[in-house]
Amino acid sequence: MSEQNVHPGMNLGYDGGEEEAEVKIFGFWAFVMSDLVTFGLVFAIFGTMAGSTAGGPGPEEVTDLTSVAIQTVLLLGSSFGFSWASLSMKYHPKSRWRTLGWLAVAATSALGFLVLEVVDFHHWTTIGAVPQRSGYLSALWALVGLHGLHVAGGLIWMAAMTGQILVFGLTDDIKSRVTRMGLYWHFLDVVWVGIFSMVFLAGVA
């Protein structure tokens, strides 16, 4: 098995470690796919509610494309920063600060995403676009909020991994955990692609 084909960050020290880590990663894929089903069904609910504004604020009122564009860039940057943290972990396991530095880049970028999203949420409440106003707004808050909660959870996870790297260093177990966190993180960016195109851009198209 060439290193190119194994998951990023997997450059484990002992024989047999790769295989065990691959099994855990496959199990984590199963979790991510169950999460994909959850997101997909909330998307479907949003699809059934897309026109049901009940005279309240619609897509034109809630969509701030500049903010959505900046959020998209920040989340993509966070995903990319995490990739480079994975590469640092794989090729430079001796210097933990290098991995931690890129993790910090990923976390800061994602924090910026969340701040802008909360500013948007606040703006929605001030124009009366609250979840109880219409079916469209309930579905919008559920979908965008669910994704935001996942990002917030990911940030907590990243903080926990940072603590573990500081305490234990880049051991095989930690590398395996960070690799699984990477799957989660890149998956959230995939979901965001669906949200910015199908919810925000399609809403005002």
Interface residues with other proteins (CB under 8 A)?
A: 1, 3-8, 22, 26, 29-30, 33, 36-37, 40-41, 43-45, 47-48, 65, 69, 72-73, 76, 79-80, 83-84, 87-88, 90-92, 98, 101-102, 183, 186-187, 189-190, 193-194, 196-198, 201-202, 204-205
Q: Which is nearer to other proteins, 141 or 187 (CB)?
A: 187
- Contact call for residues 176 and 10 (beta carbons, < 8 A): yes
Q: Supply the minimum distance, in Å, between the C-beta of residue 189 and other proteins.
A: 6
Q: How far is 30 from 36, CA to CA, in rounded Å? A: 10
Q: Which is nearer to other proteins, 86 or 155 (CB)?
A: 86
Q: Supply the minimum distance, in Å, between the C-beta of residue 6 and other proteins.
A: 8
- Contact call for residues 154 and 181 (beta carbons, < 8 A): yes
Q: Which is nearer to other proteins, 112 or 130 (CB)?
A: 112
Q: Which is nearer to other proteins, 83 or 138 (CB)?
A: 83
Q: Supply the minimum distance, in Å, between the C-beta of residue 97 and other proteins.
A: 8
Q: Which is nearer to other proteins, 145 or 194 (CB)?
A: 194
> How far from 186 is each of 76, 105, 138, 166, CA to CA, in Å?
9, 15, 26, 23
Q: Supply the minimum distance, in Å, between the C-beta of residue 2 and other proteins.
A: 9
> What interhelical angle do 172-194 and 17-49 show, nearest 10?
20
Q: Supply the minimum distance, in Å, between the C-beta of residue 16 and other proteins.
A: 15
